[in-house]
Amino acid sequence: MRIAIAAIRNSPFAILHWLMNLQDKRILVTGGAGFLGGYIVEELHRAGASEIFAPRKADYDLRKMSAVERLLRDSTPHAIIHAAAVVGGIGINREKPGEFFYDNLMMGAQLMEAARLAGVQKFVALGTVCAYPKFTPVPFREDDLWNGYPEETNAPYGLAKKMLLVQAQAYRQQYGFNAIYLLPVNLYGPKDNFDPRSSHVIPALIRKCIEAREIGADHVEVWGTGKASREFLFVRDAARGIALAAEKYDGPEPVNLGSGKEITIRDLVTLIARLTEFKGKLRWDVSKPDGQPRRALDTERAAQWFGFRAETDFETGLRETIDWYEAARRKDE
């Protein structure tokens, strides 16, 4: 085996660990039946893992410690990838900030504590780009994570997920618990959530444009000014990055997962309208929030420490997402 030297340098929390061969490990993927979790399970299978436990929320409510303890007894994992989360776009974050804070905090904190007590060998905590301060120098570097308060519309969610980094580093320092923390940027891809009440920007815009095209509408309404920017990572790339980190990264420092490419919301809407063949106009509702002004990540840590770079071209990924959604709509008719 090789030892993860680069990943642990320059840290007061550093503890040396052997890299993990996923092929001979039992792996628990929380949220494994969800959007990202489903792709993580597929990627782990491709990597040779054969014993994967992907529980459903109906069977294990991770907000309850008794359910978390039962889950670990039932799955007896060597490693955990914690992908379960309560997520959504700006609208539902503003509507349910308390739920987003409490549910995400309790799921993660209790699961990590139970994993420590059960002797789990490795814990992969998935954070969020929403944990970054509202005004972070672009590209976002992991060292800037604590230099301000997150953007207000999703701060409760971002802070709840950020506490997993604090917990992971504290547990590593006191107990030698091998927990790592990853910061995925906004994800998109086939099987995403297209519910207009809770979806993120890409599936929301795809649905709007397709429905407007089908009824012959002369315009679609878009929130904000269009000036804000975002970075997007194709979900299959994200799953590959997470699997690589689970196998090869054992350091205490947070690591960004992104594509390294930024696009304004205005350009994004224009691109989606073209790909969905919507010919009408775009109307901007400037009374609605833009959210964080800019989002674009520095992705060098992931490349250097466990060899991850995104591979999917953005337009290619959008076309695949649109094709999947149109096929799903036809199936439901």
Domain ranges of the chain: 21-188+233-260+296-311
Tracing tokens 């504290």 back to the chain, one arrives at 170
pLDDT, average across residues 51-69? 96
Q: How confident is the model at residue 196 (pLDDT cuts 50, 70, 90)?
A: confident
pLDDT, average across residues 147-161? 95
What pTM did the predictor assign? 0.92
pLDDT, average across residues 163-167? 98
Residues carrying an active site annotation: 157
Q: How confident is the model at residue 15 (pLDDT cuts 50, 70, 90)?
A: very low
Euclidean distance between CA atoms 293 and 93, whole angstroms: 17
Q: 21-188+233-260+296-311 architecture in CATH?
A: 3-Layer(aba) Sandwich (3.40)
* Beta strand spans in 193-323 (E): 219-223, 229-234, 255-257, 262-264, 281-285
* DSSP letters spanning 125-184: EE--GGGSBSS-PSSB-GGGTTSSPBPGGGHHHHHHHHHHHHHHHHHHHHH---EEEEEE
Tokens of 116: 């420590």
Tokens of 315: 């337009």
